[in-house]
Chain A
Amino acid sequence: MALPNHSHPNRIPLFRAPPSGSPVKPKLDDQFYKEFSRAIELSKADIRLRDASPHSHFNSNQPRVSAGHSDGGQWTSSGEGRASSEYLGRNGAEPVALPGQVMSDADPDPVRVWSQYAQAGVGQNSQNPAVERTKDILTDILLGVNRRVAAEAQSNPISARLYGIFVHRDFANAVRAQDLPGIGRDGVEQSFNGLGEIVRYGLDASRTDIVLRDRSGRIIAIFDVKTGNAAMAPATAKRYRRHTQVGPEVPIIILHAVRGAGLW
């Protein structure tokens, strides 16, 4: 008896199989790029739509700091990550924000998002188009989320810690809603114990923000959101690797979101 399709993170149906009897079997890579291009467009459209939405995302629900994020929502004065600190002031010609950069109140748009590879990773580029494209999508999503949270925080001042919590929460919600290839709804906020097992939130485990998997379910990248200039300590990156059982060939990519130093 055949089992129905599942939406398990390790069995995410990233690519539809070609119809049987099809004379030309499409190359998986073509389908792959098509899926990602579609996801990028959907993601951008959604961000544009939500950026224009005036509704407030602050509500009475009080979120908690994610387990496994010892520095989740925490802010530091300098970034120490090495390797590629890049961009990403998308949606316009915003200047590149680097760790440690000082931003002032005078900056007309102090909200910044950029990404960075954690230490012991692969360096400047994962060499994997799926990872790179996903990084772009997630960065776009984070930029939209960060803008909304920063705009709300201007009229309704909140602590840096709470700001970080709201960014994490809204980012997770936005990514889940996108149901992105390789992430789905399950690749968001997953906890891994010391055996590489996925376990429930709250147990002794590392809570990841986003896990990207390939067709078989193998982890090909881990994304971690940091607010402010918070960096990922090498020990934390190592713990993530031990708990997810991935080697240095799998990048841990830190997505940074800041709202501008002058606002604090």
Chain B
Amino acid sequence: MVRRSRRIFGQIAKEMSAFILCKDMLVIPPTENIVRGFLIEGTSEKDRIYLWKVVCPLHRPMRDVYLNYSDRISEEGGDIFVDSKDFRKSAALIGSIIGKHVDELSLIRTAKDFLRYIGPMLGNESFVVQLDLAMIHCRMRNISKCREILTKLRVRFDSWTEQMNQGSRQKHSDPFGDQLELVERAFASGSEDLIVLMNEWESKNVELLELGPTWVPPVV
């Protein structure tokens, strides 16, 4: 899949200067706090793909780009099939689909843009969304809002963890809980400390996702 993505997206990046191929993702430069671009996901059906319009903050540790704020896009509402023997043809098809989404993605560069973008999700209480929201508020220096979200999140997360551990002899260590704790600790010692931590994680993610050629480092 990585190879296929690279070949298709590489072809597009060669022909369209609006994109840079980073690992197997087609990225819209410049990358600040948020990576924007396109990603191919394989499916259970040969040659059918999910094409993602990616919007992902870089402020938390990640192993791969996560898609909670991204959309699957399609061709006229239908499925997308690529031709595994003809990458030029596949690139032409995908290029024609993604073109219309570039302007919209170009508007989402900073924490403030991201907050506006996820506006409709503000009622979403999933832990990941709430943690991202707290961190975004911290970056925007909305410290009391950040504190409020983190406090509520901790209560809800602990309650959920308790439910999940009921009946289990072994207490489960949750990777989300570990991340939440790191964020809480940094925030407790000062919002600037959390911002420094977020910048560190951002740099690591830039390296992981090979975003270097698109990256504009934050002004410290």
Contact = CB atoms under 8 A, between A and B. Distances in A.
- Counting contact residues on chain A (CB < 8 A from B), the size range is 35 or more
Contact of A201 (B42, B47, B128, B160): B42
Given A10-B124, A219-B126, 8 more contacts: A1-B107, A4-B104, A7-B72, A11-B120, A176-B79, A194-B176, A201-B50, A242-B164
B67 A215 contact: no
A24 B62 CA distance: 47
Given A3-B107, A64-B44, A169-B45, A195 B128 contact: yes
A200 B65 CA distance: 8
A218 B122 CA distance: 10
Given A4-B104, A217-B126, A199 B67 contact: yes
Nearest to A195: B176
Interface in B56-72: 62-64, 66-72
Interface of B: 1, 39, 41-48, 50, 62-64, 66-72, 74, 77, 79, 104, 107-108, 116-118, 120-129, 160, 163-164, 172, 174-176, 179
A123 to B, nearest CB: 15
B164 A7 contact: no
Contacts of A168: 44
Contacts of A4: 104
Q: Which of B44, B63, B107 has the most CB of A within 10 A?
A: B44
A242 B172 contact: yes
Contacts, number: 125
Interface of A: 1, 3-4, 6-11, 61-66, 165, 168-169, 172-173, 176, 179, 185-186, 189, 193-203, 215-219, 238, 241-242, 245, 247-248
A91 to B, nearest CB: 27
A198 B77 CA distance: 21
B77 A218 contact: no
Contacts of A165: 44
Contact of A245 (B64, B67, B71, B160): B160
22 contacts: A1-B107, A6-B120, A10-B68, A10-B69, A10-B124, A10-B126, A11-B118, A61-B46, A63-B44, A63-B45, A64-B44, A64-B46, A195-B66, A197-B66, A197-B67, A198-B66, A201-B42, A216-B121, A216-B122, A217-B121, A242-B164, A245-B128
